[in-house]
Structure 1
């Protein structure tokens, strides 16, 4: 008996076709582009910006008709800030006591340094995801309060201020960092494992642009295709917090050259080059309701007195002194490194 194909699945197949890049220009014809909102005036609405952090004053915030609570912050992160986040992910977050698809190898130290020395044989080419803070349990689709590591305070402040710019509040307790090659995809899924569904999900895009599909409560609802570029931020709040979403296509023909021009130190050169052929996505969420939070790791909480200082600081990763001159034009592959039932990019897993 034939199973009816969902509207979401049909859209995924359209954008996955010819993944070698031959039809990128044609694909973008029906994709909402927030750099040209006047072209899509019937679908895109620019929103007034509430009181927000000074570094966000130049960003434009949009909503999409038919997606209550959804916000798109165009160019939210400057090139410098993008490099700082990517540097932290590649050199610190994957080195610390966080969980990733590489845990099965028993060694995740010095990944970036080894990658710079020998990109083709580096284990970094196998890295697809890592988790911060409360670690998501892929098989059980739950969060175990006992499995938690320190959450980077700089990322917590960044996510909180992005939420505030959209009139939302959140306490950053968990994040999934996804590492995409030019041919990676993320299947349509809902982020519904968190007990707290009232706080938004903050999704930061850095590196290659991508097509982001925003569906509805079921896959039978036709999704909206959006173009996300390096530095853009997607905020799923309100009703849209429970919508299906995913990334069926990375657009390799339009690398973010501005990141190469923004390198202010040798530390960032390799990172900027890596981002010419990869996409990094950091999606941050609050896990527990305020009265449900129990035994939160002390490093996960960012106290109020720290926020004003941290908000104006550069991510500490940018101040590290490693010398990263080597080229990093290797390709991340979706290798079968996951424990049983853990999803790869391309499966229905949390994050964007």
Structure 2
């Protein structure tokens, strides 16, 4: 047995098995192993279908849990198409720009890179629009590779953005001086689903609900992206859930246990799904193994579709022109937005 094999944890072994293979980038050969909360789940003994809630201020659609993972909740197809489009547009045009922080900001621009000038329509969103227009144009500009200059901030480099309290990836803390405003729509949406999770918890019988959406990490995945095994333990309010929503390409999410030696459960995540890591599952290890193609995606079961997906009245709809560029991005990318409470209630 090699040193690598002897040190490989159960989580790592599963991650290697499910991650993207360059020779089979669009494979579906392991679909039968995945939990598909949006599919036909009646015969899957791992899944618990939870009773619907009747309160007006919580989610009332189909919601599921896992028998071996208390505190974990999954609401397939919970977000309306319009809300997915709105959040995607905001992620691409607002969440990834100042005063928020992205992975790009951690590395200074190279000499050949142009530092974006927002006043000159050089935001990442504006540049993406130009790229899509040029790709659709029959008169594409010819630029020599040797003289081509790229912009410092662009979607090709973008992996994540942070809002609210910004996480310091080196110190694994949330320094008080590092912050930006939370998007009100993310505060409203995450509070709505955190309240839903509270109603399913044992705590609802003897305590009152509280949740402060004070930090959000927005992940931007391309077809080759993945995220390794980790757990979200940098917050001081781990008694509060993490609310995670997805748009764009489907993906394979691996949900493990409290140890890397626990075998993770592979989950097929679709656009519009909402995942909640609360209770004992709040500190479970997890990862995103690979993106999946739209082609071959099993149809959504009618029993998993809410009668009225969540949508917020008053949100300005995305214009048809902007939707062209949103759809172009989502056709090859996945956007995941997760929201959490950083500090205990006494310090919020």
Q: TM-score range by the shorter chain?
A: 0.7 to 0.9
In 2, Cα distance between equivalents of 1:124 and 1:17: 21
Show the counterpart of 1:49: 52
Aligned to 2:14, which of 11, 29, 38? 11
**Superposition pairs of residues 225-304 of structure 1, within 5 angstroms:** 225-254=266-295, 265-293=320-348
In 1, Cα distance between equivalents of 2:275 and 2:291: 16
**Superposition pairs of residues 82-161 of structure 1, within 5 angstroms:** 82-103=84-105, 104-105=108-109, 107=116, 109=118, 110-118=123-131, 123-161=154-192
Show the counterpart of 2:312: none
Structure 1: tracts of 5 or more residues without a match? 294-352
Show the counterpart of 2:138: none
Give, in angstroms, the shift of residue 108 of structure 1: 7.8
Aligned to 2:260, which of 214, 219, 223? 219
Of the structure 1 ranges 132-141 and 245-254, higher mean CA displacement relative to structure 2 is found in: 245-254
Pair 1:80 & 2:111 matched: no
In 2, Cα distance between equivalents of 1:115 and 1:250: 21
1:50 to 1:253, Cα distance in 2 relative to 1, 3 A: closer
TM-score, L = length of structure 2? 0.77
Of the structure 1 ranges 218-227 and 29-38, higher mean CA displacement relative to structure 2 is found in: 29-38
Instruction: List per-residue Cα deviations over 1:303-322 (Å, max 9, x = no partner).
Output: xxxxxxxxxxxxxxxxxxxx
Show the counterpart of 2:112: none
Instruction: List per-residue Cα deviations over 1:142-199 (Å, max 9, x = no partner).
Output: 0012211110111100111112222365210001101000110010101000011000
Of the structure 1 ranges 42-51 and 222-231, higher mean CA displacement relative to structure 2 is found in: 42-51
Pair 1:195 & 2:273 matched: no
In 2, Cα distance between equivalents of 1:49 and 1:83: 26
In 2, Cα distance between equivalents of 1:282 and 1:111: 18
1:226 to 1:141, Cα distance in 2 relative to 1, 3 A: same
Structure 2: tracts of 5 or more residues without a match? 110-114, 136-149, 200-209, 301-316
Cα RMSD after superposing both structures:
2.5
TM-score, L = length of structure 1? 0.76
In 2, Cα distance between equivalents of 1:162 and 1:91: 25
Question: Which secondary structure state, in structure 1, belongs to the residue aligned with residue 345 of structure 2?
Answer: coil
